[in-house]
Amino acid sequence: MLVGCNRLSDLVIGTVRTQSSDSLVTDSASSATAFACGNASGGRLGPIGVDDNGIPVASILEAAHLSGLRTGLVVTTRLSHATPACKTVDYVLNGYFIMIEASLLAYIKQYIDSHPDTHLLSAADHECGGLTLEDGYNPTALQGANHTFEYLGQLFGDYKGNKGAYLKDKLLPMYGLLDVSSDNIEALVKIAQDRGVGALGVAAGNLLASEAGLHWSTEGHTAADVVLYGYANKDALRAMKDLIGRNINNNDIPLYIEEVLGLSLADTTRALRKDGVDWVGRRDELHLVKRAGKARARGHDH
């Protein structure tokens, strides 16, 4: 629960459309470019930080840095992953611009309450899963899940004894699954052996979802809009809602940050290109990458 906030929904100010320039279902690279650079690019599995012609475009982080702000980037994955550029959470404070992936909004909200010159924006780069409710929807089945399967998977991987018994008697009850059949336990252990702990987590999640009456249409990206969370002091929050408190495009978010901080993405992009763009790679090579990515995407069940 958010401290000083009854519900996470209290921070909702709008929704975000996530499509790329040529596909309703975006790739992480395209959505990262939109979120970071204010530029809608296309191509499933395409390159990051360039427009549709393969020419580099500057990010809001670069614009903040060149304007004299101190900048930072905190991620839960490798820095070369597309998503960090997409900045799941942004906030600005006293001459800082910080992008934090997968942060806890409660702590940032507390900080803003005591530092009213700070703004918070949070949105996913795309929706995953395609969540729907089935007949017999029962959210109380989720109450017993007290740990993520990322944590439980680490315990499972480290355990040296009888994996099936450990899974049934120790781990799955902490995940809210209290009465899993022997056949399902055997199947889960085999999934872990054949495909790894990550696949085990997906399978266990599907069992829990089934008990709760939830259904996921895919394990990949979807075209659904995502929620936009925002927070600031009273006057700034009103201005934020006036500017972006509705259904917006993903590339509108850095344009809002640009306006609030008095930055110029256009000037930063010109500076980025001033010595030429040959270092990016040939555009025909980028188009080959994009075409190959589209071919792979067409054959993928996501």
> One-letter amino acid identity for 180?
V
Question: Residue 258, CB half-sphere, CA atoms under 13 Å: how many?
Answer: 20
Q: Which ranges in the chain belong to alpha helices (H)?
A: 28-37, 60-66, 82-86, 105-114, 149-158, 163-166, 172-174, 182-195, 197-212, 234-244, 252-261, 265-273, 283-298
Distances (CA, A) of 81 to 22, 90, 154: 22, 17, 22
Which of 9, 20, 28, 181 is labelled catalytic? Answer: 28
d(CA 87, CA 65): 16
**SS3 state at 93:** strand
19, 21, 27, 30 alpha-carbon torsion, rounded to 10°: -110
d(CA 270, CA 57): 8
**SS3 state at 202:** helix
Q: Is 80 a catalytic residue?
A: no
Whether residue 73 contacts residue 61, with contact meaning beta carbons closer than 8 Å, is answered with yes
By CB neighbour count within 10 A (0-12 exposed, 13-18 middle, 19+ buried), where does 213 fall?
Answer: middle
**SS3 state at 59:** coil
d(CA 134, CA 118): 41
- 81 annotated among ligand-binding-site residues: yes
Which residues have a catalytic role annotated?
Answer: 28
* Binding residue positions for Mg(2+): 81, 83
* Binding residue positions: 81, 83
